[in-house]
Chain A
Amino acid sequence: MTTTDRTPDRAADADAAHPITRPDAQVHFGVFFQGVNHTTIWSDPESGSQTDFASFERVARTAERGLFDAFFLGEGLRLRESRGRLHDLDVVGRPDAITQLAALAAVTERIGLVATQNTTYNDPVDLARRLASLDVLSGGRAAWNVVTTDNAWTGENFRRGGYLDHARRYDRAEQVLATARRIWDAWPQGPDGRVARVEAHGDLVDVTIDPTTPRSPQGHPVIFQAGDSPQGRDFAARSADVIFSRHGSVLADALEFAADIRARAVAAGRPEDDVKVFPGTAIVVGDTPAEAEEKARWVARQQVTPATALHVVGTIWGEDLDGYDPDGPLPAHDPAVAELGGEGGSSTTGARTHEVAARWRALAEAEGLSIRDLVIRVSGERGFVGTPSAVADRLVQFVRTGAVDGFNLSPWLVPSGLDDVVDRVVPELQERGAYRTAYAGTTLREHLGLRAVARRAGTGAAGAREAALARV
């Protein structure tokens, strides 16, 4: 749950002032198969199984028909809970990402396959080997979205338990990633070489391994990173190929984020365009602007059901609001707990509840919003809403002002939710010369326009730092 205003594109006129800095830039798309949060509308008759392989295959094939760069799966290592009880209002349950993507690799040809994998509760040798396996089997289409977890609650499912302090989660992530890259680099380049033994003895990683996985046509799996904290941004600027942000629907906000990432990349000794910016967003199209607006309102109300609205507010208030009217006002009293803990797997971890409550109350009073209206209002950016032509113009503007390199789209319906984008928006973009008409390359690295993987260990500043990180 973010607390960004769901304001329509009133700022569009102001946005016209931003200069076009990349007149030939192309729009790129990925698709984020959301699963377990209220973005996915499971209650609609058109909504298919959220578990069957056929649903995943349909979405991936549609995205490939639309010449998307990548198909993206999330991960969660414990089912979400709310005040000690399983959260039952959203989609629950999903497959292991790498296993599912390996099956999808055999029924797709070009699209990239991105697996979210946690560095806190995975062993680096397992991660490196499984990701390399997917990369080889898919012919160089694999990527790893690197995420961390800092709560012992998730750790209760694992041998190592919840041992890692919040402040050290990115330390471990960097050591795991550096070790994985050395494992991927261990394969000999020439026909007569030997596979190098990899030894990494950091304070959070202890590995001695003779790797068995050859390199894929793209060298290494592509690295995505999705953290938005200063620590996460720095980690992406140092170590990732792509950053998956939430800053993708309001142009000024997206430009500010992109500038920040470029500055951090340069500070880390990389070219400023070395980290591609791929925010998550959504697209709602209609034949007329009014029809698109109406559809967007419908989507929001399907996503935020009365039960979900009470749940979201109840999470901040720290209590069960089942007795409240979702079409009535917010609770009159203040939240009981000042800061939310990590139990439950909620994205509100660490939220200062009194600040959020005060902000929400002010907004609700100013605009006369009920609980449900308010939750819809604050449920993240609503993305791009309009006719296919108008949406295409906006997407091109985002890319050509340098705000983003592409968009990671979340369909609200599975498996049919991408059809409108592929059938109606992609052709508009192609007419504008702003979208590929065929895949030019075969690997994900080529789709994204990333530079080739250098043999990192011992080469260049970045390579030397990584080698040092993995050796400490």
Chain B
Amino acid sequence: MTVPPLLTALDVDGAGAHPAAAALFGLAPADLVSGARLARAVRHAEHAGLTFVTFADAASPSVPGDPAQARLDAVTRAAFVARTTTAIGLVPEVPTTYPEPFHVATQLASLDLAASGRAGWLAAVTPGDAAPAAYGRAPVADLGREARDVVQVVRDLWDSWEDDAVIRDVATGRYVDRDRIHRVDFAGESFSVVGPLITPRPPQGQPVVLARAGDVAGPGRDGERLVDVVLVGGSGAAEARAAARAVVDGDPGARAVVEVQVVLHAAGRSGADRLAELDAGAAGPWAAGAALRHVGTPAGLVALLAELADDPAVAGVRLLAAELDADLPVLARDVLPALRADRRTAAPRGGATLRDHLGLTRPENRFAGAARATA
């Protein structure tokens, strides 16, 4: 095969991706979200050879009032493990709908600095009434358009400093060359941002932007690609591969990553039994949403991932493990080594950037050579 290695990602939120995982976790909420547990899970994922981890987030809980819904801010979590890891990519989910785009740009640039070029951004949208009530704002009607404007201005802001803006010229006493720092003067449908960013351009130039298919109305200004990695799914492998094909047919430079819910045979219990117990602990069965689902043996998951790996349209998979403590050890022991032995996956290299692992080049700066920030 000449297909590049399959990218493997894992979400590391809380007790796991199943809504009842936290309730069955058996520890206090403060322990569920502790720094020690988080660092352990991400280190385990790095040792298992995963390409990147994602940090699911939402400002509002799915079950209001339930302490089992404990969850910390995703960028803060990702930053906490920036220096406890050296190779794995760190991709927090940050909504585009209500937060301030200027803060989002600063936070993600800062994460990329702390993680030496391993940051990504899962740009999400927030439907519903809970978030506008939390922010005291009117609900955003067009989520896709708002997401487009936010991703656009965040990308503009990341480029607002040229890479060589800091000159430290002792002779003239100038720390920066002000001609290499630029206002962005962005005016979107619902907000405007002048810039420049308060943080220098991050190591990757632009951290990697991920989004679920259809969330970000694109393309950006002048046809710019706003989303580097598109998350797709389907009711089965064939449908997911077709969705991936549609992504790369529309934009050969984009990467398609298939989302897969996973409940594995673990600790002597079948995946089906485990899922039944989890579903019984939740308000209803685990919704598949857009994701594929594998409930069963590690060998079965290896076969599914091999099929996806062999399709040139599929760049990677994001695994949504029902229970991290049960499923991650099985992934690390029985699934990922088998794929690596077949050269279908490769562990990330220390010192490389997330862009390197995704085969994305470091982008040129859109403002390089343009008029200076403040005329």
Contacts and interface: CB of A to CB of B under 8 A. Distances in A.
A197 B65 contact: yes
A91 B175 contact: yes
A102 B135 contact: no
A105 B35 contact: yes
A442 interface: no
A102 B134 contact: no
Contacts of B177: 88
A409 B196 CA distance: 30
Contacts of B101: 159
Contact of A307 (B33, B114, B173, B195): B173
Given A213-B70, A214-B70, A136 B34 contact: yes
Contact of B134 (A93, A159, A208, A307): A208
Interface in B324-355: none
A217 B177 CA distance: 45
A81 B372 CA distance: 13
Interface string A112-145: 0000000001110110011011101111000000
B248 interface: no
Interface string A214-231: 111000000000000000
Contacts, number: 220
A100 B99 contact: no
A188 B200 contact: no
A308 B174 CA distance: 10
Interface residues of A, number: 73
Interface stretch (A2-10, A72-80, A395-403): A72-80
Interface in A257-299: none
B191 to A, nearest CB: 4
A412 to B, nearest CB: 15
B134 A133 contact: no
B70 A86 contact: no
Interface in B74-88: 75-77, 79-84
Interface in B15-58: 28-30, 33-35, 38-39
Contact of B176 (A92, A96, A212): A92
B141 interface: no
B100 A159 contact: yes
Contacts of B136: 123, 205-207
A132 B70 CA distance: 12
A104 to B, nearest CB: 8
A215 B72 CA distance: 11
A330 B173 CA distance: 20
Contacts of B166: 50-51, 92-93
Interface string A151-170: 00000111100000000000
Choose among A88, A102, A193 the residue with the greatest number of B CB atoms under 10 Å from its CB: A102
B83 A99 contact: no
Contacts of A107: 83
Interface stretch (B105-113, B221-229, B238-246): B105-113
A50 B193 CA distance: 26
A103 B67 contact: no
Contacts of B111: 99
User: Which of A50, A99, A137 has most B Cβ within 10 Å?
Assistant: A99
A89 B65 contact: no
B217 interface: no
A95 B102 contact: no
B198 A195 contact: no
B35 A93 contact: no
Contacts of B196: 79
A333 interface: no
B285 interface: no
Interface in B146-200: 161, 166, 168, 170, 172-178, 181, 190-196, 198-200
A14 interface: no
Contacts of B106: 95-96, 99
Contacts of B170: 43
Contact of A93 (B33, B107, B161): B161
A107 to B, nearest CB: 5
B76 A99 contact: yes
A107 B79 CA distance: 11
15 contacts: A52-B113, A53-B114, A79-B181, A84-B375, A88-B175, A88-B176, A99-B107, A136-B35, A138-B35, A139-B35, A158-B193, A159-B100, A212-B70, A213-B70, A213-B72
Interface of A: 42-43, 50-53, 57, 76-79, 81, 84-86, 88-96, 98-100, 102-103, 105-107, 121-123, 125-126, 129-130, 132-134, 136-139, 156-159, 187-188, 191, 193-197, 205-210, 212-216, 305-308
Task: Give the top 7 A-B pairs by smallest Cβ distance, nearest first.
Answer: A206-B136, A307-B173, A102-B79, A95-B110, A133-B72, A103-B114, A210-B64
